[in-house]
C-alpha cells in the first residue's frame, strides 16, 4: 500500500514517543522546527527563569488577529475583488472631505436654481405661477439634476471633483440610475431641508462615512486622488527556476491567486509570526495545484512567488501566441483567392 507524502507546509504533528512525527527514523521533519540535538553533544544549558507568570502548556496557540483593518490573509478590509479577480483597494472618504464636497454641491445647485428663478420671474404674472416655478425649480435642482450628473459621470459631481472623491457601489462598481436617484431623493430631507445635519450624524457612526442615502442605495464615497500604491513586480527565485519550468501548474482559483499576490506585496508590514503562519497557509493551499511538489524545505514565500511568476509568464506567453495566431488568421482572410492581385 502506497502512502501519501505529507505536505511540507502542513502544521507539524506532535505525537507520543513511538508515533509518526515524534522522533521515529524516517518520519517527516518540519523544515521550520527548531534543530534537534544529534550525537553525543553536551546538552544545552537551561535558559534563566523568565519573569512574569509561568506559561500554561494547555493554553491555545495564539492565532493572527482578525480585528484589525486587515483580513486573516493579509488583505485590507477595503480590498474589493471584482469578477475578473482584480483587487481594488478603495479607500473610503473622510467625514470632512464629504462635508466639503456637500457644501460645494449645495452652493453650485443653489446658485443655479436661484439664477433660473430670477430669470423666469419676468415672465410671471401672478403668485400661482411663481409658486409653480419655485417648486419645479427646486425639484429639478434637488433631484433631477443631481441624479443625471451622478448617472452620466458614474458617481461624480462638482463637489466630488473638487475634493477628489467618487461615489461607488458597495461592491466597487460604478453607480447607476437607481443608486443615483435614491441618493438624490434621500438628500432632499437629510441635506437640503436639514442642512446636512442628519447626514453628518449618520456618517459619524460608521467606518465609511456613509450617510442615510448611501445605506439605502448601497453606495459610499471613495478617494480617487492619492490612492495609487506602487507594487513591485514578482521575480522568480533562482533556486526554483528549473523546478518551476518542469512543474505542471493547474489553474489556481482567482481568489487564492489574488490573496497570494497581496500577501507577497505586504510581507514587510506583517509581524513575523503572522507572516510565517500566512505563508504556510497559502503554500499549503497552492500545493495541491502543483505537481511535482517543490523540493523539501523550500521556504513557503519563495514557493508561492515561484508559482505566481511561472503562472504569469505562461499566461503571457499564451497570450502572445494567441495574438500572433489571430494576426495570421486575419492576414489569411484578407488575401484574395486564386492568386488574384490586389491593386488597391
| Residues in a beta bridge with 290 | 249
Of 74-88, 101-115, 278-292, 311-325, which range is least confident? 74-88
More confident residue, 33 or 12: 12
Indicate if the pLDDT at residue 68 is higher than 60. no
Indicate if the pLDDT at residue 174 is higher than 80. yes
What confidence score (pLDDT) does residue 265 get?
84
Query: Which tens digits make up the pLDDT trace of 89-125?
Result: 678 888 999 999 999 999 999 999 999 999 998 888 8
Indicate if the pLDDT at residue 343 is higher than 90. no
What confidence score (pLDDT) does residue 162 get?
92
Of 153-157, 171-175, 216-220, 295-299, which range is least confident? 171-175
Query: Which tens digits make up the pLDDT trace of 224-233?
Result: 875 455 567 8
With contact defined as beta carbons under 8 Å apart, do 155 and 93 qualify?
no
What confidence score (pLDDT) does residue 139 get?
94
Indicate if the pLDDT at residue 312 is higher than 80. yes
Cβ partners under 8 Å of residue 228, min gap 6: none
What confidence score (pLDDT) does residue 14 get?
43
> Could you give the CA distance from residue 314 to residue 244 in angstroms, rounded to a whole number?
11
Cell of 179: 443608486
More confident residue, 9 or 190: 190
With contact defined as beta carbons under 8 Å apart, do 92 and 168 qualify?
no
How much is the average pLDDT of 212-228?
84
DSSP annotation of 300 reads H
Task: Report the candidate in 186, 178, 171 with the shortest Cα–Cα distance to residue 220.
Answer: 171
Query: Which tens digits make up the pLDDT trace of 255-273?
Result: 888 889 888 888 888 899 9
* Percent of the chain residues topping a pLDDT of 70: 69
Cβ partners under 8 Å of residue 117, min gap 6: 133, 134, 137
Helix H or strand E encompassing 221: strand 219-223
More confident residue, 298 or 80: 298
Beta strands per DSSP E along 53-146 = 79-81, 87-89
Task: Report the candidate in 264, 165, 280, 270 with the shortest Cα–Cα distance to residue 224.
Answer: 165
> Could you give the CA distance from residue 207 to residue 92 in angstroms, rounded to a whole number?
8
How much is the average pLDDT of 297-307?
92
Question: pTM value?
Answer: 0.51
Helix H or strand E encompassing 113: helix 95-120
Q: Quickly list DSSP for 17-78.
A: TTSTTSS-TT----TTSPPPP-TTPPPPPPPPPPSSSPP-TTSPPP---SSSSB-TTS-BTT
What confidence category does residue 242 fall into, taking pLDDT thresholds of 50, 70 and 90?
very high
Indicate if the pLDDT at residue 13 is higher than 80. no
- Report the b/e string of 104-128 with b at 16+ CB within 10 A: bbbebbeeebeeebeeeeeeeeeee
What confidence score (pLDDT) does residue 17 get?
38
Mean pLDDT for all residues in the chain: 78
> Could you give the CA distance from residue 73 to residue 71 in angstroms, rounded to a whole number?
5
What confidence category does residue 66 fall into, taking pLDDT thresholds of 50, 70 and 90?
very low
Dihedral of alpha carbons 280, 281, 283, 287, sign: positive
> Could you give the CA distance from residue 82 to residue 233 in angstroms, rounded to a whole number?
21
Indicate if the pLDDT at residue 55 is higher than 50. no
Amino acid at each position: 500500500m502506497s502512502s501519501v507524502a505529507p505536505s511540507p507546509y502542513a502544521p507539524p504533528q506532535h505525537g507520543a514517543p513511538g508515533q509518526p512525527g515524534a522522533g521515529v527514523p524516517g518520519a517527516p521533519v518540519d523544515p521550520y522546527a527548531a534543530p534537534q540535538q544529534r550525537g553525543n553533544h553536551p546538552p544545552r544549558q537551561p535558559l534563566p527563569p523568565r519573569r512574569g507568570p509561568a506559561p500554561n502548556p494547555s493554553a491555545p496557540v495564539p492565532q493572527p488577529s482578525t480585528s484589525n483593518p486587515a483580513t486573516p490573509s493579509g488583505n485590507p478590509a477595503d480590498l474589493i475583488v471584482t469578477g475578473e479577480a482584480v483587487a481594488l483597494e478603495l479607500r473610503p472618504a473622510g467625514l470632512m472631505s464629504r462635508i466639503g464636497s456637500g457644501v460645494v454641491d449645495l452652493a453650485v445647485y443653489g446658485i443655479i436654481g436661484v439664477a433660473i428663478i430670477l430669470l423666469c420671474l419676468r415672465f410671471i404674472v401672478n403668485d400661482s405661477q411663481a409658486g409653480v416655478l419655485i417648486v419645479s425649480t427646486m425639484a429639478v435642482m434637488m433631484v433631477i439634476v443631481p441624479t443625471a450628473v451622478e448617472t452620466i459621470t458614474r458617481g461624480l459631481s462638482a463637489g466630488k471633483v473638487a475634493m477628489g472623491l467618487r461615489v461607488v457601489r458597495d461592491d466597487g462598481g460604478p453607480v447607476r440610475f437607481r443608486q443615483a436617484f435614491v441618493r438624490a431623493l434621500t438628500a432632499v430631507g437629510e441635506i437640503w431641508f436639514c442642512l446636512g445635519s442628519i447626514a453628518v450624524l449618520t456618517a459619524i457612526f460608521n467606518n465609511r462615512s456613509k450617510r442615510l442615502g448611501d445605506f439605502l442605495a448601497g453606495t459610499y464615497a471613495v478617494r480617487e486622488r492619492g490612492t495609487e500604491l506602487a507594487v513591485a513586480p514578482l521575480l522568480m527565485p533562482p533556486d526554483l527556476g528549473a523546478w518551476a519550468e518542469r512543474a505542471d501548474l493547474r489553474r489556481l482559483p482567482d481568489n487564492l491567486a489574488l490573496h497570494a499576490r497581496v500577501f507577497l506585496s505586504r510581507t514587510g508590514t506583517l509581524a513575523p509570526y503572522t507572516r510565517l503562519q500566512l505563508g504556510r497557509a497559502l503554500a499549503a493551499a497552492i500545493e495541491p495545484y502543483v505537481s511535482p511538489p517543490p523540493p523539501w524545505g523550500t521556504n513557503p514565500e519563495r514557493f508561492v512567488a515561484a508559482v505566481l511568476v511561472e503562472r504569469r509568464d505562461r499566461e503571457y506567453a499564451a497570450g502572445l501566441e494567441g495574438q500572433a495566431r489571430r494576426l495570421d488568421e486575419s492576414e489569411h482572410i484578407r488575401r484574395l483567392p486564386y492568386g488574384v492581385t490586389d491593386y488597391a
